[in-house]
Amino acid sequence: MAEEAILGYLAKNEEIGDSGEFASKHGLNHDEVVNVIKSLHGFRYVEAQDIKRESWVLTNEGKLYADTGSPEAQLFLAIPPEGGIPREELQIKLGPLLFKIGCAQAAKNRWVDMGGQVTRRVQHVDDRVKDLLLKIKEGQVVDQDDIKALKARKLIVPQTWNGYSLKKGPDYAPQRKKFAADLTREMLQSGDWKNVEFKEYNFNAKGQPIEAGHLHPLNKVRHQLRMIFLQMGFEEMPTDRYVESSFWNFDALFQPQQHPARDSHDTFYLKVPSTTKELPEDYVERVKCVHESGGYGSRGYEYDWSREEANKNLLRTHTTAVSARMLYNLAQDTLKKPFTPKRYFSIDRVFRNEAVDRTHLAEFHQIEGLICDRGLTLGDLIGVLHDFFSRLGMSKLRFKPAYNPYTEPSMEIFSYHEGFGKWVEVGNSGMFRPEMLLPMGLPEDVRVIAWGLSLERPTMIMYGYNNIRDLFGHKVDLGLIKTNPICRLGL
């Protein structure tokens, strides 16, 4: 309707001077006319210029007085010309509000004497307020002082009217062309494609929301880290064993049985099944010895090692338990074939019975990398840490001596975070001790360098989470799972 009227009018006329007049002349809704003008302007069918008009419109109170007369005029007319009227009777006659406004204005205009008996002071009055309101209602020009007075009484308010003047645009046509959205098989076969104009691609158009599965931020970051490890030549370790024996989780790592981390306040022990079924007995014997009396140049911990303690089942407290199994298998392989260097990594859940807070839960995902080769040194560890963390965007590292029961030397890893403007602890690392490696049966000159960090910490920082419960657990907002952005790490 409006589109045909506008394009048809411009076919015979140079311009439409005022969209408001055009709409009323053609019996159209001006808002609809404005929307069509904006669309036609967007496709260059018309060239539109803004028209902005400030006008005044009556408030509801203003409309009432334009209809019934101002309160002061009504009050004057309610007073008998002779003798006047008692104040109370006049108030009842007009009603409290009209009486209150009318008295004030009539007294101000010196139309009445407001004693106990209200009397007229003049013979006749002109109701200018009503006349002015009627003029404004009809769109006539009114003196600024009068406007100011009516506005002060809240009888009129300003109104801005937005419209357009328009003329033919560079791509004007009496009818809107139908632009084809897609090139179809039929067009190609019939040859119609030669006469068809195609809609321009809107490269800023957002894609339709995909009602499909959405990856959790942790999975997105884990995938990126997995790619980084694979690019660095690492193989992924099998981490599908959450329940582990204390032997593989602690004893094989030369972690003494009195170590506080093995206390039930830090570790989840299982009731059923409470003990592991089988361990490699010859290896267990060597582990028992190295704990009790050392060997390989070590004096051990000189305590009575308990098999019962080693048999206890638990939820693994670190993925280093998996690393221990992998290194033991590697050592066993050297019985059949020569030792070959290996690079392993793992990213999976670990469980610790520790105090929970805003950034810690009783479980988290540990990321661990290790390199097993002859003659590795601390320098090799520092070098591979620079390579790894630089792929995470952390090129400024510092190392601080630390202690782990199963690595010596050990280092905490710090990175300078430009955003926070401070050094942030980003992981831990070290060289596995001979008391761990040699009972496995690895060759004497083989060294293992390893490091670890968590998956939640980088994910929280990258995705701006302040509370780990917004990222992991039953309170996670599934809407965020749908809308969280992609994660890009790695070279």
Judged by CB, which is closer to ligand FB9: 32, or 263?
263
Answer for the pair 179, 197: CB distance below 8 angstroms, yes or no: yes
**Binding to ligand FB9 by residue 428, rule CB under 6 A?**
yes
Judged by CB, which is closer to ligand FB9: 19, or 255?
255
Rounded to whole angstroms, the Cα distance separating 401 from 329 reads 30
How far CA 239 is from CA of 280, 285, 327, 473, in Å, comes to: 20, 26, 14, 21
In the bound state, the residue with its beta carbon closest to ligand FB9 is 452
User: Which of these ranges, 110-118, 188-196, 294-302, 451-459, lies near ligand FB9 under the rule CB under 6 A?
Assistant: 451-459
| Contacts of range 69-72, beta carbons closer than 8 Å, 24 or more positions apart | 69/127, 69/130, 70/102, 70/105, 70/127, 70/129, 70/130, 71/98, 71/101, 71/102, 71/105, 72/101, 72/102, 72/105, 72/106, 72/109, 72/111, 72/125, 72/127, 72/129
User: Which of these ranges, 147-155, 159-167, 231-239, 419-427, lies near ligand FB9 under the rule CB under 6 A?
Assistant: 419-427
Phi and psi (nearest 5°) for 163? -140, -170
Q: Which residue in 381, 404, 439, 440 binds ligand FB9 (CB under 6 A)?
A: 404
- What is the three-class DSSP state of 187? helix
Range 459-478, binding ligand FB9 (CB under 6 A): 461-462
Rounded to whole angstroms, the Cα distance separating 247 from 312 reads 8
CB of residue 342 vs ligand FB9: minimum separation in angstroms? 15
What track of x and - describes contact with ligand FB9 for positions 307 through 326 (by CB under 6 A)?
-------------x------
Q: Which residue in 56, 250, 351, 451 binds ligand FB9 (CB under 6 A)?
A: 451
Angle separating helix axes 456-463 and 217-231, nearest 10 degrees? 120
- What is the three-class DSSP state of 118? strand
Range 355-394, binding ligand FB9 (CB under 6 A): 366, 368
What type of residue is 154?
K
**Binding to ligand FB9 by residue 457, rule CB under 6 A?**
yes
Question: Pairing between strand 85-86 and 397-404?
Answer: unpaired
User: Which of these ranges, 56-64, 112-120, 184-192, 418-426, lies near ligand FB9 under the rule CB under 6 A?
Assistant: 418-426
**Binding to ligand FB9 by residue 430, rule CB under 6 A?**
yes
What track of x and - describes contact with ligand FB9 for positions 115 through 154 (by CB under 6 A)?
----------------------------------------
Q: Which residue in 2, 33, 66, 453 binds ligand FB9 (CB under 6 A)?
A: 453
DSSP H or E run through 370: strand 363-374
**Binding to ligand FB9 by residue 251, rule CB under 6 A?**
no
CB of residue 425 vs ligand FB9: minimum separation in angstroms? 4
Give the chain's largest Cα–Cα span: 132
**Binding to ligand FB9 by residue 427, rule CB under 6 A?**
yes
The residue among 2, 56, 55 whose CA lies nearest residue 30 is 2
Judged by CB, which is closer to ligand FB9: 248, or 451?
451
**Binding to ligand FB9 by residue 426, rule CB under 6 A?**
yes
Q: Which residue in 16, 118, 237, 450 binds ligand FB9 (CB under 6 A)?
A: 450
Answer for the pair 376, 445: CB distance below 8 angstroms, yes or no: no
**Binding to ligand FB9 by residue 257, rule CB under 6 A?**
no
Q: Which residue in 21, 425, 445, 477 binds ligand FB9 (CB under 6 A)?
A: 425
How far CA 46 is from CA of 29, 53, 177, 200, in Å, comes to: 19, 22, 14, 18
Residues that bind ligand FB9 (CB under 6 A): 320, 366, 368, 404, 407, 417, 424-430, 450-454, 457-458, 461-462
